[in-house]
Amino acid sequence: MAKRFLFLLRRGPYDGLWTKECLDMLLTAAAFDQQVTVLFSDDGVFQLMSGQRPRGAGQRPFATFLGALSFYDVDALFVEMESLQERGLKVEQLVLPVQLVARNDVAALLDEQDVLVSC
Amino acid sequence: MAVLHVVSRSPWVSPSLQQCLHRARKGDAVLLSSDGVYAALGGSESARMLGAVLADGIDVYCLLPDLEKRGIVPSQLGEGLETVDYDGFVDLAVRLPRSCSW
């Protein structure tokens, strides 16, 4: 039976391998037909910035990893509104279509899930 | 003699920027690198703090390749915050031979 998973991504895209590994878990869950929701908050919203151009050898813009989400039919993507506002960002600047959720409503979103994975 | 302060952590993850700004003084320069460049995003509280130290005679620079990596374009930076490339970083290090990492 499918469970409801929420992945809370709250680190910047170049702050170590945390998010990359969390995405691997996320895509695995999705590949096994679990119901997956993603919430970007805090520095996690920086993962969604368009125009990322890392120069280092072997480095790829983080957004290219996020492109896999739609391939796995993960389309429940939420961004915490206050995290964007605090960083001077607007939803139009993000690479994926997302739904905004207010900080006050995050608890309710977490409440709907069976499993929470946070990184 | 002035100091080059190098801040390399996000202001939302670490208090490094604030700790640095409390100790920098007139004539010093602050260089934002790595996740530290996020502090310069216009409209944020950290960009406002950086604007305030500019008025105190402390120059603030953002490392351009680190901005580009993160998808930040110079027009998104807070007012008065400048960018430097690697050559500019070297010039800063020559002009301010003492540096302090935060």
ipTM computed for the complex: 0.82
How confident is the model at residue A57, as a pLDDT? 65
Residues 25-54 of chain B whose Cβ lies under 8 A from any Cβ of chain A: 34-35, 38, 41-45, 47
Beta strands in B1-102 (DSSP E): 3-7, 29-32, 59-63, 82-84, 98-101
Q: With a cut of 70, say whether residue A73 has pLDDT above it.
A: yes
Indicate the burial class of A96 (C-beta count within 10 angstroms; 0-12, 13-18, 19 or more): middle
Q: With a cut of 90, say whether residue A68 has pLDDT above it.
A: no
Domains of chain A: 4-48+69-118 (3.40.1260.10)
Angstroms from B74 CA to nearest CA on chain A: 12
How confident is the model at residue A56, as a pLDDT? 74
How confident is the model at residue A59, as a pLDDT? 73
Q: Does A86 touch chain B (CB under 8 A)?
A: yes
pLDDT digits (tens, 9 = 90+) for B26-77: 999 999 999 999 999 999 999 999 999 999 999 999 999 999 999 999 999 9
- The number of domains in chain B is 1
Mean pLDDT of A49-70: 80
The count of other CB atoms within 10 Å of the CB of residue A4 is: 14
Angstroms from A14 CA to nearest CA on chain B: 8
Domain that holds residue B45: 3-101
Q: Does B12 touch chain A (CB under 8 A)?
A: yes
